[in-house]
Amino acid sequence: MKAPKKLLPYLLAIGIGISAAGCASHIKSVSMNIAMKHQDSYKKHLSRYADDVKKLRDNEYVLPDSVYNTFTRIVIGGVPTGLHVNYAILSLGSRKQYSNELEKQGYGDFEIGSFYTMMTRSNSTLIPKRLLEHKKFDEVLTHERFHEEQNKLSFFEKRKIKKTYKQLKKDFECANFLVKNEHFKTPVDSAIHSDWQEFLPYLNDGMFHSVMDTVLVRRHPETYNLYQKLKKKVNSLSSSEL
């Protein structure tokens, strides 16, 4: 998840389960196949961004800005540049809030249901339309794909990364966790300091001083090997598609 401009650290997260679902909701039930047809139809109206739209995979969805903003505010309390969702289960109250806000924006039941199906699908990446106009589109997409691959790691591999992250924060807090000076006290800095899941994606983005690689090699070789494995996979995918 690329850090939003205004988002308190404790609100940052990836793959959020808000609460158990199971209560009735007035959001229209729409199958994934139908939702994808709706997505394909929406993409046809984005012909001026055709080159970037073609880069998106089946689990990467472009959403109208207002729809994306509404959903991310309800789920994580802010609006990140892009968001990979490992899973998202909204409470009855949150579903009603989502539906009511989109109705006010002029969307009908079918559209609301289609957006909801895509946004709550396991292992989905959400992209606001405005990102297609941004020069950092490829960078953000690569960042979210790193999250996607990282989420596929085993419990023990994730625990290893988390343990390394905590130790590095303890060792280098006085050096601002080795984050590059230009990112000090920025949303990127806040994201890195508040969520271990942002550590390796931002390392891949080049947000840390180069010495961080050396530190990982010497002190945390297992985590470094995991990082290289993820980096190779994500960057090879990106180079062939972006």
Ranges of each domain in the chain: 9-134, 153-241
Alpha-carbon span 146 to 126, nearest angstrom: 14
Rg of the chain (C-alpha set): 18
Is the pLDDT at 112 greater than 50, yes or no? Answer: yes
Report the Cα–Cα distance between both ends of the chain, in Å, rounded.
Answer: 18
pLDDT, mean of residues 183-212? 82
Is 90 exceeded by the pLDDT of residue 157?
A: yes
Structure tokens at 5: 């401009």
d(CA 135, CA 133): 7
Spatial separation of the C-alpha atoms in residues 49 and 46, rounded to whole Å: 6
For residues 204 and 175, the model is more confident at 204
| Number of Cβ atoms within 10 Å of the Cβ of 199 | 26
Model pTM score: 0.82
Phi, psi of 90 (to 5 degrees): -90, 145
CB 198 within 8 A of CB 192: yes
Q: Is the pLDDT of residue 132 over 80?
A: yes
**Above 50 in pLDDT, residue 17?**
no
Q: Is the pLDDT of residue 84 over 70?
A: yes
Task: Enumerate the β-bridge partners of residue 240.
Answer: none
Longest Cα separation, the chain: 56
**Percent of residues, the chain, with pLDDT higher than 90:** 61
Q: Rounded to the nearest 5 degrees, what angle is found at the Cα of 58, between the Cα atoms of 55 and 59?
A: 105
Burial of 194 (0-12, 13-18, 19+ CB in 10 A): middle
Mean pLDDT (the chain) is 84
Least confident range from 18-32, 116-130, 164-178, 197-211: namely: 18-32
